[in-house]
Structure 1
């Protein structure tokens, strides 16, 4: 249910400069009237008929370059000031700030995530520090891992669906001047006997070379993609990504020392459970879910979590109001959409939403009370997720039992955003953007 993330936009920031002539408006006692003008975001007052103090610039230097502006002297006309501004900028409109590069001049980055259930692509350009703007995206449910838990192999039909989606992604990538891209495959390709054969087929037919990443890398990328949703006063977070074939969980301790710009640096423990919504639904049934079968799914996941040796590393902050859960998956975004009673899924309403414990309980109970057709009819679930959403809820309930929290934050972002963030940081484009433009 994820949708593309648009994390920022380029903005010009023209400065509105005005110059006073010799004869300005006066007050009743004959004194020059104060005129207010804006300068680089500050309010400043000057008497009409007075220029800037000698030796003081009228405009602050812009980021990364010296901004030269002429001071206004008595007896000079406003037209003359405008003329000098035009000359100082080589005939271009004076903005008082360094020019931002147009979108077409910025480097392009891409991230592709082929999971057990979905194939997703993001293409983006860097904007303000730590942010980017999505310029192209693609998402399709391909169910690559369908039947994998029973056979141990990727089926021909599932591979066909995935290859067709990847061909579209390949066309999109080739139509862009992409500087760097990372194309990853996760649990389905990791665990399938014929995973490497499928990777070779993708390279031959779609022209894309996929990288099968390990579980630790997957957990780190999920954390990197959600950094902006963890607020500055947070002491601890359990971030989880409920996938189709695996579920990654990272414990993040922010209670000690100075906070790093990279949230992944604060991971104190992590695990990857070899169970996801597709594999769990295939084992216990996804279309018809009784309360007994739901409880059995929760118990299955809880047993796996009990073997996680690092699960207690955040015990010292569990009771703090500044501890919370952070979920990045179709399960939590679906719950959020149902909770908001959206007529159609809207990422802008869902991404970053806070849900308290009572609301999560109520939504899980609501979905348990719906039959399969009722789930299909809901616009935030639909036929593609109707047989998977309760399996996801079972994984969520097992996680909440181990790390009880009054708050859950919903993230409609994840691996692709983490990849883009790491690629852009590695290339230094945000560092260069601080100097007035991304490095070419």
Structure 2
């Protein structure tokens, strides 16, 4: 039987029962430590995010978190390099991460950088500076690993009553798509015992909320034409890999669903729910129909920058980028129609943590030559 997948528990308040200074558990007082802490950092084109967690039976519990908009990819399209100002913002954010990791006594961590550092001429130099000054080792991961980590982070959002799922991860500089075979996963035992679902294929489009916003500055008029222009541009970059073509009938027949993971998706969900403030508990795991998703995008595209900034669940920093994300999302929905979208307030960091905590598979040892001869 396949190994049961780990899953993330809902975040709780930090410091609640992480053990006192003597290593005793505050709840039981039995001298048992709370277990080792693991950390995952995702340095993206727009955000720097970190989670610190401890393993629990069947999953993990988040004990600390950090998120800051650093705009690492600002101006990258024009210059081809990360700016000094953006690099300094990253260093300040990662200094906070390093301090949290030290305070939480993290025993194992994985730190990754994505599209901005993949494409920037000076991306490796920034990684070296981070290693020298902050003692954090970053990997600039491939688009394929980024796509697969997004799938792993959203594992329990996939509904194996469907036959396929498309995981959509809209980032600052790229958009990753992963086509998952839920029918085979269901045959293996699904979420309960099917292990990781089979990824049939993936693609990475060089378009994200930062790059698209910079290419299409917001106009004062002809806003509908401007928005449609962003959709068309994104659609041209969303290439369909060969392995995905055989899954297309499942989408056309209503046997597939989308899984969305990014700030765009959670913003659209918040607008749909008309939340007075962002509530992860109501957004993460939410099902939205195609009509509801497009209605929320329409509502946002009808607002100017001030109107979007006034949305309590979006705010000023996201207001500049959210429409580019909506355009990318609608381009994906046009190409891969599905009646339902599952919203995930999670992604790469959760996938990284699950990989860190997963026990390595034991390889079967080949019988020694002498033993084989004796058996014969």
Q: One fold, TM greater than 0.5?
A: yes
Shift of 1:161: 0.5
- Residue 126 of structure 1, CA deviation: 1.1
Matched, 1:275 2:207: yes
Residues 1:201 and 2:125 aligned together? no
C-alpha separation between the residues in 1 aligned to 2:289 and 2:200? 25
SS in 1 for 2:258: strand
Question: Would the aligned equivalents of 1:167 and 1:205 in 2 still touch at CA under 8 Å?
Answer: no
Q: CA deviation at 1:320?
A: 4.4
Q: How does 1:140-151 map to 2 (within 5 A)?
A: 140-151=68-79
3-state SS of paired residue (2:358): helix
Name the CA distance, whole Å, in 2 between partners of 1:424 and 1:208.
19
SS at match of 1:318: helix
CA distances 1:9-46 after superposition (whole Å, capped 9, x unpaired): 8xxxxxxxxxxxxxxxxxxxxxxxxxxxxxxxxxxxxx
Residue in structure 1 matched with residue 163 of structure 2 by the alignment = 235
Mapped pair 1:171 → 2:99: yes
1:239–1:325: 8 Å Cα contact kept in structure 2?
yes
CA distance in 2, matches of 1:211, 1:147: 22
Say which is worse superposed, 101-110 or 418-427, in terms of deviation: 101-110
Task: Tell me the equivalent position of 1:122.
Answer: 51
- CA drift of 1:232 comes to 3.5
User: Alpha-carbon deviation of 1:115?
Assistant: 0.3
Measure the CA separation in 2 of the matches of 1:102 and 1:394: 54
CA deviation map 1:262-316 (0-9, x unaligned): 6654110100111100000000114758111211111111112245434423123
Determine the structure 1 residue equivalent to 2:217.
Answer: 285
Counterpart pick for 2:176 among 228, 248, 257: 248
Unaligned runs of 5+ residues in structure 1 are 10-98, 429-440
Corresponding residue number in structure 2 for 1:105: 34
Change over 3 Å in CA distance of 1:264–1:102 after alignment to 2: farther
- Look up the match of 1:351: 284
Q: What secondary structure does 1:200 align onto? A: helix
270-279 vs 298-307, which deviates more? 298-307
Q: Any unmatched runs of 5+ in structure 2?
A: 1-7, 13-27, 362-376
Structure 2 CA distance for aligned equivalents of residues 266 and 104 of structure 1: 37
2:60 corresponds in structure 1 to 132
Task: Indicate the structure with greater helix content.
Answer: 2
C-alpha contact 2:147 2:177 (8 A) present in aligned 1: yes
Distance in 2 (CA, whole Å) between partners of 1:313 and 1:323 is 13
1:423 aligns with 2:353: no
Report the Cα offset of residue 201 of structure 1. Answer: 1.3
TM-score normalised by structure 1 residue count: 0.72
Report the Cα distance in structure 2 between the residues aligned to 1:359 and 1:182, rounded to whole angstroms: 37
- Is the Cα–Cα contact under 8 Å of residues 152 and 350 in structure 2 kept in the other structure? yes
CA contact (8 A) 1:218 1:415 kept: yes
- Counterparts of 1:187-226 in structure 2, within 5 Å, are 187-226=115-154
Provide the rounded CA distance (Å) in 2 between the counterparts of 1:284 and 1:188.
18
Write the distance in 2 (CA, Å) between the matches of 1:176 and 1:306. Answer: 43
CA distance in 2, matches of 1:420, 1:112: 10
Change (3 A) 1:326 1:307: closer
Q: Does 1:304 align with 2:237?
A: yes
Q: How does 1:307-318 map to 2 (within 5 A)?
A: 308-318=241-251
Cα contact 1:227–1:263 (8 A) shared by 2: no
CA contact (8 A) 2:50 2:349 kept: yes
| Contact 2:297 2:326 (C-alpha < 8 Å) held by counterparts | yes
> CA RMSD of the aligned region, Å?
2.2
- Report the secondary structure of 2:245's partner residue: coil
Aligned to 2:80: 152
Higher Cα Rg: structure 1 or 2?
A: 1
Size of the aligned set, in residue pairs, is: 334
Q: Is the counterpart of residue 258 in structure 1 residue 188 in structure 2?
A: yes
Say if 2:11 and 2:63, in contact at 8 Å, map to a contact too. no
TM-score by length of 2: 0.84
The secondary structure found in structure 2 opposite 1:275 is coil
